[in-house]
Amino acid sequence: MKEVNYLEGKRFKDFKPDDTIYITLTKQDHSNTYFCRVIELVSAKKVKVRIVAHASDSRLHYHDDEEVIVSMNNCSLFSENGYRYFKPTGEIEEAGEDIFGHEENHPAYGILQIGKFQGGSNTFFGSSIKHNGGISLKIYPASITRRHSDDWYHAYHSKPYIDVEMSYTQFAEAITSGMSTEGTPCTIRAIDGEVMPKVDFVNKRLQFENEMKGKMVKLSDRLDKLTEEAEEILNAGKAPNKGERQFILNAIEGLRTEIKSNVPFVLTQFNEQMDKTVKEAKGEIEGFYDQKIHSLGLEKLHEEAKLLDKDTILEIEGED
């Protein structure tokens, strides 16, 4: 049984600590409604609440006492007429008003969500290091609802069409590379909800080491074969003819080219890969510190916003 609120004339700024309110949150790709108690208004259009129970169905599934800050757009109240939402002006919708508006779907409508994530040891396709976080890009099917003379865009499915992750460096390259025809590597985590197999980590140093060992083994085999064939020609008891001399010279020239050009090329490629690896590592460190500074900065801004917005709310109330 949902708690009934007497709503006529109710305004968002009228909420006081311990008042009841319903909020809608998206957690783990699912939209849920929660029954809450107000802690305080943090701005003219945001409120801090404590979640009391899950209220998406007729039963109240009690939830941990999680505290969240939500915008007015995600808040509603409940009466005998059902859920009623707040208008952009902060007033509650009138009874009988079209609270849901007109929703329109189209196969071409989509929502792109870009976010940062932290934690774990993540391996990304096209990256030579393991990452503690990265950038997530998700594309959902979407719909548009016309309500209160405004457009409300939202994903109408809990599973995205595609879920892609990138390192900070890859994301920066993707948005700054212009019209690159090659594109930027990314890691597909899921398609239509189907989780893709994890990407195996490739140690680039060991990869180059094994490639160099392979080249040295082949070079040694060629040298052994040339030595054997040259000894056979020279020990034949007669002077080498023109064709035999040319054969030996060509084989020596091939070995010379391998040692002078191909082996240094692998070394150059190794150095370029190490520079790229260092760049990726720097990007990972910068991303971590940026996330940390951003988090600490938001906490400070929230504290300052409370003081500023409380003054704003008092000014608005004083005008009535």
Q: Does the global pTM surpass 0.85?
A: no
Q: What is the mean pLDDT of residues 215-242?
A: 80
Average pLDDT taken over every residue of the chain: 76
pLDDT of residue 288: 63
- Decide if pLDDT at 163 tops 70: yes
CA distance 161 to 165: 14
Q: What is the mean pLDDT of residues 294-301?
A: 62
pLDDT given at position 317: 42
pLDDT of residue 1: 36
Answer CATH for 12-85 from 1.10.287, 2.40.50, 2.30.30, 2.50.20: 2.30.30
Whole-number Å distance between alpha carbons of 161 and 138: 7
Q: What confidence category does residue 80 fall into, taking pLDDT thresholds of 50, 70 and 90?
A: low
pLDDT, tens digit (0-9, with 9 covering 90-100), for 169-214: 888 888 887 666 678 889 999 998 889 998 888 787 777 778 788 8
3-state secondary structure of 286: helix
Residue 168 has what pLDDT? 85
The mean pLDDT value for 266-293 works out to 70
Q: Which two tokens stand for residue 167?
A: 């390192």
Instruction: Inform me whether the pLDDT recorded for 99 exceeds 60.
Output: no
- Name every residue whose Cβ is closer than 8 Å to that of residue 283 and which is 6 or more positions away in sequence: 167, 168, 169, 172
pLDDT at position 227 over 80: yes
- How many CB atoms neighbour CB 248 within 10 A? 16
| Helical spans, DSSP H, in 28-187 | 168-176
pLDDT digit string (tens) for 298-317? 566 556 655 555 444 444 34
Domain boundaries, the chain: 12-85, 102-195, 204-304
Q: Return the sign of the alpha-carbon dihedral for residues 247, 252, 256, 259.
A: positive
Q: 204-234 and 242-257 helices cross at what angle (nearest 10)? A: 160
Query: Which two three-digit tokens encode residue 242?
Result: 């023109």
What pLDDT is recorded for position 112? 92
Query: Which residue in 284, 48, 278 sits closest to 168, CA to CA?
Result: 284
Distance CA 68, CA 25 (A): 10
pLDDT tens track for 51-77: 888 765 544 455 567 888 888 888 888
Interatomic CA distance for residues 55 and 22, integer angstroms: 8
Of the chain, the percentage scoring pLDDT greater than 90 comes to 8
The CA distance from 285 to 279, in Å, is: 10
Q: CA quadruple 175, 179, 180, 186: dihedral positive or negative?
A: positive
Cα gap 169→9, rounded to integer Å = 52
- pLDDT of 34 over the 90 cut: no
pLDDT in tens, 102-158: 778 888 999 999 988 877 788 899 887 787 888 999 999 988 877 666 777 878 777
Which distant-in-sequence residues (6+ apart) come within 8 Å of 204 by Cβ? 128, 273, 274, 277
Q: Which residue has the higher pLDDT, 320 or 147?
A: 147
Let me know the angle formed at the C-alpha of 266 by 265 and 271, rounded to the nearest 5 degrees. 95
For residue 295, give the 3-state DSSP assignment: helix
Q: What pLDDT is stored for residue 258 in this prediction? A: 76
| Across 281-302, average pLDDT | 64
